[in-house]
Amino acid sequence: MILTVTPNPSLDRTYEVPALDRGEVLRATAERMDPGGKGVNVSRALAAAGRRTVAVLPLGGAPGALVAELLAGQGIEVAPVPVAGATRSNIALAEPDGTLTKINAPGPELTAAESESLLSTVRTQIHAQVHAQVHTEVRTQVRTQVRTHADSVAWIACCGSLPRGLAPEWYAELVARAHHAGARIALDTSGPSLLAALRERPDVVKPNAEELARAVGRPLVTVGDAVKAAEELRTYGAGSVLASLGADGQLLVSDAGTYFGFAAVAAVRSNVGAGDASLAGFLAAGGEGPDALASAVAHGAAAVQLPGSVMPSPADLDPSAVTVTADVPLDRPLTEPAS
């Protein structure tokens, strides 16, 4: 089972428009409403793949209630943390050429009590899954020893920006508590919260090219630059680095080596949640090694060909289109250099 933590979830409305003309009345050709937030998207992708997942997230007001309802409709277990403020609503405008314009609301400001409740809920979920695992083994007389809490919660994916009220060190505290409980952590955040969390040694971090450049404080122009930046993050404390390079593919840098993955995409419809789908594919395939990277690339490539933030199902994946190699093209220029 994979637990996801989304400190700043959202209700996402996506409108497809013929063109984005400023100051004009725009008539949408299609619209979608989805539960949003990076961790939420990871849970949605896992559920679409038939994997069990529990989403921990603060929810408030009518938008929060609708997020919970939409997640339940997708077969996702929700562990809500009630908060006083209303869950944010985001808007995305998608053009036919793949250009996406997003308006993200700031979200509610969490109190100190709500912050602690969010951390406590994660711990409660880990312990609850361990208890359920032990109870099932006793009931069925299976003599498999439960070695650690991670036997029940395979991974905890901590994803997205932090809402107002949570200090940059909040993720570091979550990583420390989760490791103490025996769970492995995949962290997808950026800026000060990423750098603060590295001291607690998350098992996997998943930056995109811009986030990677910001973390090391220098531009990335080639794939080789991205590899060096990922290696630097590992010296700061990251166990493995799964880096999304947009249209140029993905990198995995870990103790087992460095691998590059790529899949050709005929047409990009929407890149909303594509990185989250990649992380879901990576964790669903074990969270380490070239096979997990191939799964991440396949999920990401499928996601960008779907509308809005729709997460790919197994039927949408094309593993034959994915190439993973240890012969990393270090000199290859990035299509969109990260400044």
244-280: pLDDT as tens digits:
999 999 999 999 999 999 998 988 887 888 999 999 9
- Report the candidate in 99, 59, 79 with the shortest Cα–Cα distance to residue 1: 79
Q: Provide the CATH number for the domain around residue 263.
A: 3.40.1190.20
Q: Which residues of 136-165 are buried (b: 16+ CB within 10 A; e: fewer)?
A: eeeeeeeeeeeeebbbbbbbbbbbbbbbeb
d(CA 260, CA 248): 10
Predicted local confidence at residue 89, as pLDDT: 96
Predicted local confidence at residue 94, as pLDDT: 87
% of the chain surpassing 90 pLDDT: 82
* Contact between 263 and 323 (Cβ < 8 Å): yes
Does the pLDDT at position 75 exceed 50? yes
Residue 147: pLDDT band by 50, 70, 90 thresholds? very low
**Per-chain mean pLDDT for the chain:** 91
% of the chain surpassing 70 pLDDT: 93
- Name the catalytic one among 151, 248, 276, 291: 276
Predicted local confidence at residue 153, as pLDDT: 79
Predicted local confidence at residue 310, as pLDDT: 86
Sheet containing strand 250-254, strands side by side? 77-82, 53-59, 2-5, 155-159, 184-188, 204-205, 240-244, 250-254, 257-263, 322-325
287: left (phi over 0), alpha (psi -120 to 50) or beta: left
pLDDT tens, 210-226? 999 999 999 999 999 99
* Contact between 119 and 41 (Cβ < 8 Å): no
* Residue range(s) defining the domain that contains residue 195: 2-338
CA dihedral 167, 171, 244, 270 (to 10 degrees): -70
- Report the candidate in 90, 46, 43 with the shortest Cα–Cα distance to residue 68: 43
**Structure tokens of 85?**
């403020």
Predicted local confidence at residue 267, as pLDDT: 84
d(CA 117, CA 123): 10
- Number of compact structural domains in the chain: 1
Does the pLDDT at position 200 exceed 50? yes
**Exposure of 212 by Cβ count < 10 A (0-12 exposed, 13-18 middle, 19+ buried)?**
buried
Predicted local confidence at residue 273, as pLDDT: 87
Does the pLDDT at position 152 exceed 70? no
Active site residue 318: no
Does the pLDDT at position 315 exceed 60? yes
Does the pLDDT at position 151 exceed 80? no
